A and B are shown apart, each in its own frame.
Chain A
């Protein structure tokens, strides 16, 4: 399908069929998968779905032709602003280079898990949405753009279909930038998608509801994208302290708002709710290693997420500046980022050039610090307590986009018996996204969950299953270490949807939980496997 066909007036451009998708590895070779749930008639009337029958944005259909026209014009003005230094100094250079230089070789297509796992549907090619954007810019915004557009390859119609499909299409890419790694001329299709989302958000107010209204807006309004308020976090911390005592017998005080502490530790607040063992483990390890740290209960200070990273520079900057301000007010020497991949990249890398140097606070990955703790010998670990096969998921944001590859591996090698840790293939900087990147892990509007299950999460599920081939007996418990909240959420959803634990014994956790489980002075197993509580009850 040519990118120009995006403007076709048809009910739906593409249909995802199970039989077109690449098969999953054993024991799922003949597994009967559930297709994408079609939208109901009333949903179809309300929401745009003409790209692939999926609605991730629940984007309302314009009610009048005038409204359509207004939105089309708004898109074009957004694209124009995107190409100015005043409105887009943050990404102008890589954007313009990527706009101008695609050599149309399609090397990027084979690197993209979404394209591959969709059964190679053209609309998911990394170049497809980028090409549409290029063609619109050439035809409608460049001088002489309407001269011989067919011959020059940009004869595209800018109508509401184009805009509505582009909006949805910008939420079919996880921004993993695997395509960018292989492009022989350096074109960054991941970035092009990021920029496309910015037009929708910054100019048109259109974004994934979970990442904007229920995400960054809640973050700035209540203090956390989970909606958790300052008052609630203090209560939650108390519960965590009780739980730590129950699980370890240790009475540990988690420091809050401690002025002058060495470190401000920021977690993804989703951990407090979905995986409280994760912040508990940090508290146990930092206490045992004698680390001088604090958590914050200031607005945004207890939630390290920054959803703006995926769709909106303004929202991004607002949250990042808050994080830095809180650290400065506390007088800490550095910020340590918990197990959250996008929080790592947001605060360490992207926010690095938002303020003059003297206003910056050093930021460090928890992986690095945890490895330092292991190497220091301050905590004794007994690898035999982790005597089960384990594999490691590399969060794109931390690995390909930040170059933190070794520390987490060194930790695993120190806390597992030899031969228990095996890599996924490929791994490290060539890894595949979990399928929940760029906000997908938390997005579940319309029937998008089905798309994630069948398409974006498929590659990682295949990699996980492949890592444990030969040991698929469910009685052999196996673990995926996923040291990132969003990746963990996506992997959890995949494992649950495909009943992976029941069929193969594979489960998931973070890095710190595995560390605590291996601590010599931890009497009871710290890790919990599905069904453990039932066993205890018996």
Chain B
């Protein structure tokens, strides 16, 4: 097995472990107090209303319109709808960049399928199915490279020229954009040299069969691969994983309006949290350096006691 293959496996491993750790970190945090923000699609009230609009709401069965959540989320993820509505001048660049990225990921998936077919003996020359997946790879990846490059260039210029953005953009942010830009540009050049992604597919085959490539890859393929490998391992450590916040902040924070109706799961969590020690130092908290827990401090009234003395 070649050095590049080992690097690719390692990079994939880092990605999976780091990303899973990130998900786990957020998924295992305590249930927070309710902090929802309306409109909440599953409430099914397009004006942004909630169950609080109904008298004796706790006596009624709750109906959650789960489809409404998807009706909100799908255009949001695919078209970055919120940015389109509230920050159009950035959306003009952010959208092609994101769409470029999605198309490239789609292209990569089809390339992988093409590689599996090749292992099974089906190549575009002898199989209509393999040929279809080859075409799909090209149809997705090439526009993806172009859109991605346009988006990245636009974002770099925008961040340099808009003073509001320039002030909050650090050198590392430009590095990230350039890195992604390199991924798109080198990918495009790879396609120019290898219009059927034959070499790329062969590399995938070598990855899937744990065997070396039959012929060494060209320089531009290697560069494209190194840029990708590096980014794959680096990505989970950056704020670019904002799909994580998109999931948790919507599903677990802004849309989490589940009322406390004595659900045993919720009750046991609350009891556990009330037993957590408090170490806040301000005098009025009176936590005594962790001797008191949340139940103690919340049920005490230091001033009432003083009044009575």
Contacts and interface: CB of A to CB of B under 8 A. Distances in A.
Asked if A and B bind, the verdict is yes
Interface of A: 1-3, 74, 77-78, 81, 85-87, 89-94, 96-98, 100-107, 109-111, 122, 125, 127, 131, 150-154, 177, 180-188, 191, 201-205, 212, 217, 220-221, 299, 314-315, 317-318, 321-322, 334, 348-358, 360, 362, 364-365, 368-369, 371-372, 399-407, 428-429
A220 B301 contact: yes
B169 interface: yes
Contacts of A403: 36, 38-40, 43, 45, 48-53, 257
B299 interface: yes
A94 B284 contact: no
Nearest to A97: B245
Contacts, number: 286
A318 B300 contact: yes
Residue among A102, A111, A355 with the highest chain B CB neighbour number at 10 A: A355
* Most chain A beta carbons < 10 A, residue from B169, B170, B248, B307: B170
B43 A350 contact: no
A97 B248 contact: yes
8 nearest A-B residue pairs (beta carbon): A153-B170, A403-B50, A357-B262, A186-B249, A429-B48, A317-B298, A221-B303, A101-B245
Interface in B29-69: 29-40, 43, 45, 47-58
B285 interface: yes
Contacts of B55: 364, 368-369, 371-372
B254 A186 contact: yes
Interface residues of B, number: 90
Contacts of A371: 55
B301 A107 contact: no
B303 A217 contact: yes
Contact of B167 (A100, A122, A368): A122
Contacts of B52: 348, 364-365, 368, 402-404
B94 to A, nearest CB: 7
B187 to A, nearest CB: 23
Contact of B54 (A106, A368, A428): A368
A358 B262 contact: yes
B121 interface: no
A504 B297 CA distance: 51
Contacts of A177: 37
8 contacts: A97-B245, A150-B170, A203-B282, A220-B304, A317-B297, A355-B270, A365-B52, A429-B38
Contact of B38 (A102, A314, A402): A402
Nearest to B273: A89
Given A105-B94, A221-B307, A151 B170 contact: yes
Interface stretch (B81-89, B135-143, B206-214): B81-89
A221 to B, nearest CB: 4
Contact of A150 (B34, B171, B261): B171
B71 interface: no
Contacts of A125: 164
Q: Which applies to chain A's interface (DSSP): helix, strand, loop or mixed?
A: helix
Given A2-B168, A314-B285, A401 B54 contact: no
A212 B50 CA distance: 32
A116 B277 CA distance: 42
Contact of B263 (A109, A191, A204, A357): A357
A107 B83 contact: yes
B242 interface: yes
Contacts of B220: none
Interface of B: 25-26, 29-40, 43, 45, 47-58, 76, 80, 82-83, 85-87, 90, 94, 164-165, 167-173, 239, 241-242, 244-246, 248-250, 252-254, 257, 259-263, 266-267, 270-271, 273, 276-285, 294, 297-304, 306-307
A364 B260 contact: no
B20 to A, nearest CB: 16
Contact of B26 (A85, A97, A111): A97
A334 B276 CA distance: 30
Contact of B277 (A86, A122, A150, A322): A86
Contact of B267 (A107, A185, A357): A357
B30 A89 contact: yes
Contacts of B241: 101
Given A74-B281, A153-B172, A350 B33 contact: yes
Nearest to B90: A105
Contacts of A101: 239, 241-242, 244-245, 249
A325 B242 CA distance: 42
Given A182-B82, A358-B262, A399-B38, A406 B303 contact: no
A217 B284 contact: yes
A94 B57 CA distance: 27
A334 B56 CA distance: 9
Contacts of A122: 164, 167
Contacts of B279: 81, 86-87
Nearest to A94: B253
A205 B283 contact: yes
Contacts of B252: 93
Question: For A3, A351, A364, A405, which residue has the most chain B Cβ atoms within 10 angstroms?
Answer: A405
A232 to B, nearest CB: 15
B276 A86 contact: yes
A95 B250 CA distance: 13
Given A105-B87, A106-B168, A186 B30 contact: no
Contacts of B169: 104, 153
B58 A353 contact: no
A497 B294 CA distance: 44
A356 B270 contact: yes
Given A85-B30, A100-B239, A153-B173, A202 B282 contact: yes
Contacts of A106: 87, 90, 164-165, 168
A221 B32 contact: no
Given A89-B273, A97-B26, A101-B239, A201 B282 contact: yes
A181 B249 contact: no
A106 B34 CA distance: 26
Nearest to A180: B37
Given A100-B245, A122-B167, A182-B82, A317 B30 contact: no
A398 to B, nearest CB: 8
B297 A314 contact: yes
Contacts of A356: 262, 267, 270-271
A396 B83 CA distance: 23
A375 to B, nearest CB: 9
Given A2-B168, A186-B253, 16 more contacts: A74-B281, A81-B279, A86-B276, A94-B32, A122-B167, A150-B170, A181-B37, A184-B83, A186-B249, A202-B285, A348-B52, A372-B55, A403-B40, A405-B53, A406-B45, A406-B49
Contacts of B242: 101, 103, 185
